[in-house]
Amino acid sequence: MKISTKGRYALRLMVDLAEHPEASCVSLKEISERQGISLKYLESIVAGLVKSGLLDSIHGKGGGYKLNRPAENYKVGEILRVAEGDLAPVSCEACSGEKCSHIGECKTKTMWDKLGELINDYLDGISLADLLAM
């Protein structure tokens, strides 16, 4: 499993918002400048975060984005799954809807299943508040 820039930038965006809880809304332009991430790229990332319900979007003058729950209630795993999709370590474990033709006799499936559980449990055990405290 390799986390792409999309997943890493989604986390940076969320941490940035968590670092500014006093703001009613934060513009993507501000985040772009602080994080050194292209505004266009952030726009594509934030759309998925809003659609999934992780962020609120406020339109109009003074609008922007904000967390809709406390930082300790956001888990790194859920943010990465929104940005990246499935976090399975190998493609045969992904929720693609296709079954592997070797599923019945695969001697490595149990190992991959357990690794996937470890990865997800680890990432679901870290909150945005934890990242702020690091």
Q: What is the pLDDT along the chain (134 residues), one digit of tens a residue?
A: 789 999 999 999 999 999 998 777 999 999 999 999 999 999 999 999 999 999 999 988 888 999 999 999 999 999 999 999 988 888 775 544 456 676 677 888 889 889 999 999 999 999 999 999 99
Q: State which amino acid sits at residue 125.
A: G
What are the chain's domains? 5-86+127-132 (1.10.10.10)
Contact 48, 83 (CB under 8 A): yes
Record the pTM. 0.88
C-alpha to C-alpha distance for 90 and 88, rounded to whole angstroms: 6
How would you label 59-78 residue by residue, b for 16+ Cβ within 10 Å and e otherwise? eeeeebbbbeeebeebbbbb
Q: State which amino acid sits at residue 111.
A: M
Contact 40, 75 (CB under 8 A): no
Contact 34, 12 (CB under 8 A): no
C-alpha to C-alpha distance for 92 and 30, rounded to whole angstroms: 40
